Amino acid sequence: MNRWQRTWIGGLSVIVFLMLWELAMPLGWIKVADISQPSLVIKSFLELAATGEIFEPLVISLKEFILGFILAIIIGIPLGIVLGRYRTPSLLLDPLLMAFYTMPRMAMMPLLVVWFGVGLGATIAVVFLGAVFPILINTSVGIREIDPIWIRAVRSFGGKEWDIFKKVLLPGTVPPMMTGIRLGVGRGLLGMVVSEMYASTEGIGGQIALYGNSFRTTELIVLIAVVSLLGFIMVDLMRRLEERIRKGRMGV
Amino acid sequence: MSGARTFYRRCDSFLLGAAGLIGFVLLWEAVARLEWMDPVLISSPTHVALALKNWAFSGILLRDLATSLWELAIAFVASALVGVPLGVAMGWNRPAEYALDPFIWLLYSTPLVSFWPLFIIWLGIGTKTIIALAFLFSVVQVVINTMAGVRSIDPVLIRCARSFNARTVDLFFKFTLPGALLMIIAGLRLAVGRALIGVVIGELFSSNAGLGFHISYYGARLRFADVFAGLFMVVVVGICTTQVIRLMEARLTRWKA
């Protein structure tokens, strides 16, 4: 009953919003700016999709995103485990990491463009920088929150450091790690779009900048909707995965 | 000997943290001096310090800082004024939550920077557009945290108040708002960081003053010492604003301890 209510009220409000948007321009409620219309947006989506102006850039963008994100996982998770397990390196790096974590990494764009080259290199770098910190920090916090009794238990049964890692640390840190990965997906996508809008004409961000510069609102809204939907699907997927893992754990 | 050891034990987080920072700076300087990497590309701490000094003494730092902080302040206050009531409404009233939920989640997971060209078309290039982007970045966070805060109040407390004949107004001001305060402020703390990201990205894309402008201006001229100086100032602003809210948090939640 409750679930059903959520669906119909949510759906209704979206429909009302779309209708108001559709009527706003023809009825002259909004005169100063071009906000386009949902019907035009859908039409223009079909046209752009047919000419390949959506999916080709999207494939380029996704490739950059995935490469940067995989790099972030490869570096973020092991480093997070080390920093969570051992006190000295974590204290050593703590202020540095905090400084990086507070800094909007997107502001490094001008540097990254020169260091790694416009396009593929810079985008991978900024996706990596955006995603790696949430992953790293959540993983290490997860490790720190593991009950030390379990580690002692492994020790007292004669377990080595490797056994602790395999039997306690790795399984114990999975839920917070997933939270980090979910946050990282959002940050990484933001980095991807910023990079493409800032310095390259490739990818979906490049398309957004292109249509923005030529003041074509309808096409712009199509592209924004595509990016939004992409973000929504990816974050939602991660959230479901996270919940499933967490639930599976509760059952044990 | 044991005195030194206990001293180390007590302050090890501070000592090691300082050692890490100093080590990083020294390593950076060494890499630049010995030209293991191109000094033009990575600059060096001494050059960055020099650039920072020139920037400060020329008076432009003050102008840039004032511009960015002004934009940040307006965006942040606006997002608090819009976000908190919206979040309270969504936490208080189920149908309101269901109605707004799709929009909030969509905005939460969208790379919001994609709205930038749209804002330029609507508002023109300038401070207004930057503020709009920063507002959008931060408001979602405020709404989500406020809603979670209102939701997190123990229903038993509410039922208890109700059974003592509390009016809805009392219930709201004496239970819901104080109960949610902790989460709301945590949301504001996250929001100020996000607003800063919005301000810097906006200035990076198009502006004629501000920290982000400084970064992109000198970035385009390959003067990376100035770019690092700009990044340094952004970190300083980020830490200071977050710290101010932390102090507020400690003060407002003293009764909880």
- CATH of residue B196's domain is 1.10.3720.10
B140 and B54 within one domain: yes
Residues 6 or more apart from B33 whose CB is under 8 A from it?
Answer: B39, B44
Flag whether residue A161 sits within 8 Å of chain B, measured between CB atoms: no
Binned at pLDDT 50, 70 and 90, residue B217 comes out as very high
Evaluate whether A105 touches A126 at the Cβ level (below 8 Å).
yes
Q: Does B222 touch chain A (CB under 8 A)?
A: yes
Confidence check: pLDDT of B94 > 80: yes
Give buried/exposed letters for A1-13 (b at 16+ CB in 10 A, else e): eeeeebeebbeeb
Cβ proximity of B178 and B206 under 8 Å = no
Report the percentage of chain B scoring pLDDT > 90.
56
Do A114 and B21 count as a contact with CB atoms less than 8 A apart?
no
Indicate if the pLDDT at residue B73 is higher than 90: yes
CB-nearest partner of A102 from B19, B94, B193: B193
Residues B71 and B137 both lie in one domain: yes
Please count the other Cβ atoms lying within 10 Å of the Cβ belonging to residue B22. 10
Distance CA B31, CA B43 (A): 10
Distance, CA of A30 to CA of A145 (rounded, Å): 53
DSSP secondary structure letters along chain A: -HHHHHHHHHHHHHHHHHHHHHHHTTTTS--SS----HHHHHHHHHHHHHTTTTHHHHHHHHHHHHHHHHHHHHHHHHHHHHHHH-HHHHHHHHHHHHHHHHS-GGGGHHHHHHHH-TTHHHHHHHHHHHHHHHHHHHHHHHHHTS-HHHHHHHHHTT--HHHHIIIIIHHHTHHHHHHHHHHHHHHHHHHHHHHHHHH-S-HHHHHHHHHHHTT-HHHHHHHHHHHHHHHHHHHHHHHHHHHHHHHHHHH-
- Distance, in Å, from the CA atom of B213 to the CA atom of B126, rounded to the nearest integer, reads 12
Would you tell me the crossing angle of helices A55-85 and A174-199 to the nearest 10 degrees? 140
Report the C-alpha gap between B248 and B74 in whole angstroms.
19
Domain count for chain B: 2
Same domain, B65 and B88: yes
Q: Which amino acid, one-letter code, is at A92?
A: L
Contact A109 B219 (CB under 8 A): yes
**Helix-helix angle A120-144:A87-102, to 10 degrees:** 130
Task: Tell me the C-alpha distance between B140 and B138, whole Å.
Answer: 6
Partner A contacted by B244 (CB < 8 A)? no
Confidence of residue B2 (pLDDT cuts 50, 70, 90): low
Q: Taking Cα atoms as reference points, which of B32, B35, B64 lies closest to residue B48?
A: B32
A205/B196 Cβ within 8 A: no
Residue type, B27: L
8 Å CB contact between B134 and B72: yes
B64 and B180 housed in the same domain: yes
List CB contacts (< 8 A) between B193 and chain A: 102
pLDDT of the residue at A252: 46
User: Is B14's pLDDT higher than 60?
Assistant: yes
Query: Is residue B27 predicted with pLDDT exceeding 90?
Result: yes
Per-position pLDDT tens, chain A of length 252: 567 888 889 999 999 999 998 888 888 777 667 788 898 999 999 998 888 888 899 999 999 999 999 999 999 999 999 998 888 888 888 888 888 888 888 889 999 999 998 888 999 999 999 999 999 999 998 998 888 888 888 888 888 888 888 888 888 888 889 989 999 999 999 999 999 998 877 889 999 998 988 888 999 999 999 999 999 999 889 888 888 887 776 554
- The reply to whether B87 and B144 lie within a common domain is yes
Contact B240, B211 (CB under 8 A): no
* B25 and B61 inside one domain: no
pLDDT at B1 exceeding the cut of 60: no
> Residue B248: is its pLDDT beyond 70?
yes
Instruction: Report, as an integer, the average pLDDT of B220-231.
Output: 93
Residue B240 has pLDDT above 50, yes or no: yes
In this prediction, residue B198 carries a pLDDT of 94
Chain A residues 21-60 with CB within 8 Å of chain B: 33-35
Neighboring chain B residues of A211 at a CB cutoff of 8 Å = 117
**Does A14 reach chain B within 8 Å, measured CB to CB?**
yes
Q: Which two tokens stand for residue B176?
A: 């819901």
Q: For all residues of chain B together, what is the average pLDDT?
A: 89
Among A201, A249, A169, A175, smallest CA distance to A56 is for A201
Q: Please state, for a pLDDT cut of 70, what percent of chain B lies above it.
A: 98
Question: Nearest-CA distance from A9 to chain B in Å?
Answer: 5
For B100, name the nearest residue in chain A, comparing CA atoms only. Answer: A10
How many CB pairs below 8 Å do chains A and B form together?
A: 163
Give me A125's structure tokens. Answer: 């770098």
pLDDT in tens, B118-160: 999 888 888 999 999 999 999 999 999 999 999 888 788 878 8
- The Cα A153–Cα A84 span in angstroms is 19
Query: Is the same domain home to B163 and B211?
Result: yes
Q: Are residues B115 and B156 in the same domain?
A: yes
Mean pLDDT, rounded, for B206-225: 91
**Which of B98, B205, B234 has the CB atom closest to A5's CB atom?**
B98
CA B32 from chain centre, in angstroms, equals 32
32-61 of B, contacting A, C-beta below 8 A = 41
B238 touches chain A (CB under 8 A): yes
Measured CA angle at B95 (ends B90, B97), to 5 deg = 30
A236 interface with B at CB cutoff 8 Å: yes
Q: How confident is the model at residue B212 (pLDDT cuts 50, 70, 90)?
A: very high
Q: Do B231 and A228 touch (CB under 8 A)?
A: no
| Min distance B138 CA to chain A CA atoms (Å) | 14
Q: Which domain holds residue B137?
A: 43-256
Residue A208, chain B, CB below 8 Å: the answer is yes
Record: contact B114-A92, CB cut-off 8 A: no
B230–A232 C-beta distance less than 8 A: no
pLDDT tens sequence across B162-171:
888 878 788 8
Q: Which residue has the tokens 């630049």?
A: B32
Q: Nearest CA to CA, how far is A208 from chain B (Å)?
A: 7
B222 neighbourhood in chain A, CB within 8 Å:
114
Q: What is the pLDDT of residue A250?
A: 58
- Select from A74, A62, A208 the least CA-distant residue to A124: A62
pLDDT of residue A199: 80
| pLDDT tens, residue by residue, B37-56 | 888 888 999 999 999 999 99
Closest CB to A224: pick one of B103, B114, B215: B114
Q: Which residue of A has its CA nearest to B114?
A: A224
- Distance in Å, alpha carbon of A106 to nearest chain B alpha carbon: 7
Contacts of A12 in chain B (CB under 8 A): 99
- What's the gap between Cα B101 and its chain centre? 24
Complex ipTM over 0.90: no
Residues B9 and B117 in one domain: no
pTM: 0.89
Q: Is the pLDDT of residue B95 over 50?
A: yes
Cβ–Cβ under 8 Å, residues B87 and B150: yes
Q: Using the beta-carbon criterion (under 8 Å), do A6 and B100 form an inter-chain contact?
A: no
